[in-house]
Amino acid sequence: MKKWIVCFILASFLFSCSDSKDKMEGSENAEKSTADLPYTATYSSQFTSDVSDADLKMVLTTYKDWAAGNMDGLEATMADSVYYEGSNGSSVHLAKADLRKMWTSYRDSLSSVEIEMQAWDKMFAKDKGEGHIVTWYKEIDTYKDGRVDSAVYHDINRVKNGKITYYSSMKRVLK
């Protein structure tokens, strides 16, 4: 009787091990297979959240710097050159000093900036080796002439070696 119990336990153990192996192989195959999707991503579709918390903090601090008018802090986070896509549809590749000059000119027209950060996500493109921090936020700008503008934004910040190399902003004006 003891032999049967030992055999039963041993057999159960072996079956449970092979079942786990089959499940692991199945999940690997599922990762390799592609669904029948109507589009193929031209940049990447292989994202993880493997972006450092230090890079996340650095990017979120840029929004605090913008609201406070701290252009030195903002400039310190930028790579030597940055590809910038503005919410107005413009796109330029600028040296960090030229980007600062452009942003300073606009920021100087404002008496205050309030930012309500609604969400963010860390995204690492495995096939490109590039980290991104995407943000969603509401910004209320008060101009020196008293006008108030508010909008919601969705930004993409590409980070490489602890610096922002690409910044893209999309804007929806609030009424």
Name the token pair of 107: 């920021």
Asked if pLDDT for residue 52 goes beyond 60, the answer is yes
Asked if pLDDT for residue 39 goes beyond 90, the answer is yes
Q: What percent of the chain has pLDDT over 90?
A: 79
**pLDDT at residue 175, as a whole number:** 82
Q: What percent of the chain has pLDDT over 70?
A: 81
Name the band, by pLDDT with cuts 50, 70 and 90, for residue 35.
Answer: confident
pLDDT higher for 17 or 109? Answer: 109
Cα separation of 169 and 134, whole Å?
10
- 3 phi and psi angles, rounded to 5 deg: -65, -40
Average pLDDT score over residue span 2-29: 45
Name the band, by pLDDT with cuts 50, 70 and 90, for residue 13.
Answer: very low
Lowest pLDDT segment from 10-19, 64-73, 133-142, 158-167: 10-19
For residue 124, give the H/E element and its range.
Answer: strand 110-125
**Angle (nearest 5°) at CA 40 between 165 and 121:** 45
Nearest to 120 by CA among 160, 153, 151: 153
Residue type at position 111: S
pTM: 0.79
**pLDDT at residue 6, as a whole number:** 42
